[in-house]
Every structure is written in C-alpha cells, then in structure tokens.
Structure 1
Amino acid sequence: MASAPLSRDSILDAALAVAADRHWEAVRLFDVAEQLGVTLADLQPLLAEKEQLVDWLWQRADETLLADCRGKSFQTLDFPKQFEACVLAWLGALQPARRTFRQMLEVRMEPGHLHIQIPTLFQVSRSVQWMRELCGRDATFLRRASEETALTAVFVSTLLVWLGDDSHGSQRSRDWCRDRLAQAIALGRWWPRRPPSTGQ
C-alpha cells in the first residue's frame, strides 16, 4: 500500500517522472503504480484512464494561471501586458514537462481520436475564458465573440510556437505572443461595439 495518501498531484508527478525517459505513448498505468509503490487497484478510485492525466496537467496550468495572475501588480498592467502575462504563466507551469506535453498533444491529434480531440477544444476555450476574466474583459455579444476568437488564436499559436521553442527563456514565444496580440488588438478596432438589435 502507499506510504502516503494518493492525490491527483502525486499521481500526475509520478506519471511525468516515468515519461521523462520515454515517449508518452509508451507510459502505462502499471508503470505509474510501480513508481508510486502502489497497485492499480489503489489508483483506480482516483484515475479512470491514462488520458485523464493529460487533463490533470492542463488543469494544473489553469490553476497556476489563476494563482500567478492576480494582485495589484497584475491589475495595474494594461490589457496587452495582462494577457501576455496570462499566456506566459500558463506555459510556464508546463515548462518542466514541455517535451512530455508536446507528446501528449501529438497523441491526441492522431486520426481517430475525436473522443479526446473535441474535449481538448473545450479545454482551450476554458483556459482563454479564465484569461479574459483575469483581465477584466467585459465585452458582450458580437464583440465578445470576436474578441474570444482573436485571443484564442493568440493563445493557440503561441502554444504551438512554445512547444518547439528552445530560445533562452522562451523568448521567441514571448515575442510571438506580443506581436500576435498587438495584431489582434489592431483588428479589434473593427469588432462590433453594439449588441445586436432584439427587433423590439
């Protein structure tokens, strides 16, 4: 039996430790159980399947985002710097496991994995929504939808650059995020500013 209570974080950390010297596709739950010194029966009440580990890692990034992007120093930033800080905080949470996270996404994007690809799209949307909330964005209707689309494009494109970014301090990803965000804000001048008519 385990020497300490199992938790989402302890299981995830064990899985990442196993994945450190192999491809994520080759990680098996019995490897994770062995790393923890427990049985598969011990894991099952907390972990339904291996794919849940990817969701937990994503959630860890969301939690880091919410913990880091707050307080007076964050609130006094203008919106572009706030959103950039949000994206970088999210990516920073994954930096120690970047190679494994890239492999996780590669596996998810393989043909025939719609059952996990569609939930990933919802995860992207939720992360961007948290970033908008942290930045105090209050647009409505068409302007909100346009802004969400643009900011999602900034987030996803920065994530893709970051996955292969070996520059010092991920500077290339930082520059990419900043430039794409500036473009999105410039395009935002054309976003609808009034809610649609109700016809009444």
Structure 2
Amino acid sequence: MPRSTPSATQILDKALDLADICGWERLHLHEVADALGCDLAAIARHYRQKDDLVEAWFDRADQALLARGKAADLAILTAEKRLEELLIAWLGALAPHRAVTGQMLLYKLEPGHVHLQVGGLLRVSRTVQWWREAARRQNLHLSRIAEESLLTGAYLRTFVHWLHHAEEAPADLRALLRRQLRRAPLGWLLRG
C-alpha cells in the first residue's frame, strides 16, 4: 500500500487532534505517522523533533495576530484597544486546543529540557515583538525597552490566566487584559 505524504499543516493538525485525546506528553510521532498513513521520514521532512510542532502551533497563533493586524478597523483604535484586539486574536487561534497548549508549555518547562526553555523564552520575545509591530507601536530607546518589558508581563499574565480559566466569559478575559494594559506605568506609555 502506498504511503501518504502529508503536508506540515496536516501533520500538525493530526498531532493536535491526537494530543487532545492522549495528552501532549503521551503523544508519539510514530502514532501521528500511523494515523496519517505515512512513515516517520514524512514527518521528519517537516518537523525535526516533537518540539518543532509546538513552535508551528505558536507560529499559527502569531499568524492569526498578524492577520488581525491587517484589518482596516484596527487603525482607528487606540493603542490599548489595538493591543487588546491583537492578543485576543492570538488566543483565539490557540483556543481549539487550549488544554494541549498548556501541556506543551509544561513540556517545555521540564527541568531536563533546558534547550526547550531557552527556545520558550525566545518564543515569548518573538510573539511580543509581533504584537507590538502589529499594533504599530513606535516607541524608541528606553521607552521601547520599558514598553516591551511591561507588555511581556501583561502578555504572560493574560496567557496564563487564559490557560487556567477555560470557562471564563470572553468579556471577562477582555476586562482582565484591559486592566493589564492600563496598569501603571504601561498605561502611561500607551497613552504617551
């Protein structure tokens, strides 16, 4: 029987679907290959290791944020509201596999995965950079550094809250994010 040659998207989608059932820790790439009717080499062509699937998942969320950033209605909003809309789009892209997303983060934070922890820090930085860019933030020098640091804190607090409150109403999540963005001194930077 001929083996299939799945795309990177098909592999990621199948891995997420299987992880919804068994959990990220228990997911094995050979099971993904079996479910897709391919061999491991077909998966290795797109993903060198299991963590590459995690990166692809977060890349997908970053793309949703950037797509939202192109919307015409965003340009007329305040900086705070643009940031809110963009992060909500990012979280919305992750929502179909929220529990698995949290499991992926725990996998990255395992003590034996220092190499993944460093990648996780770079991922946070990359997402915050895209978030700022899509929001058209133009602060420079010390103001930019302060804003990036404060936005990183707001991003992490909102993301962790979102992971742990799956039943929360969307309006409550938005209210929490707004509070994060209005906290001094970040609120001052966004209004300045």
**Structure 1 and Structure 2 fold alike (TM over 0.5):** yes
TM-score (norm 2): 0.92
The residue aligned with 2:51 is 51
Query: Which runs of 5 or more residues in structure 1 are unaligned?
Result: 194-200
Q: Could you say what secondary structure the match of 2:25 adopts? A: helix
- After superposing the two structures, state which structure 1 stretch, 107-116 or 48-57, moved more: 107-116
TM-score (norm 1): 0.88
After TM superposition, which residue ranges in structure 1, 4 or more long, deviate above 4 angstroms? none
The residue aligned with 1:138 is 138
The residue aligned with 1:111 is 111
The residue aligned with 1:198 is none
Which amino acid is 2:187 matched to? Answer: A
The residue aligned with 2:160 is 160
The Cα RMSD (Å) is 1.7
Which amino acid is 1:79 matched to? Answer: A
- Post-superposition Cα deviations, 1:2-38, rounded to whole Å, max 9, x if no partner, equal 44x4222111001011111112100000110011111
The residue aligned with 1:28 is 28
Deviation, structure 1 residue 167: 3.2
Aligned residues with identical type, % of pairs: 37
Of structures 1 and 2, the larger Rg is shown by: 1
- Post-superposition Cα deviations, 1:82-135, rounded to whole Å, max 9, x if no partner, equal 000111110000000000000111111121211001111111111111111111
Q: Could you say what secondary structure the match of 2:149 adopts? A: helix
The count of aligned residue pairs is: 189
Alpha-carbon separation, structure 2, partners of 1:141 and 1:168: 38
- Post-superposition Cα deviations, 1:136-156, rounded to whole Å, max 9, x if no partner, equal 111111111000001111111
Deviation, structure 1 residue 65: 0.8
Alpha-carbon separation, structure 2, partners of 1:147 and 1:23: 36
Alignment of 1:37-48 (within 5 A): 37-48=37-48
Deviation, structure 1 residue 182: 0.6
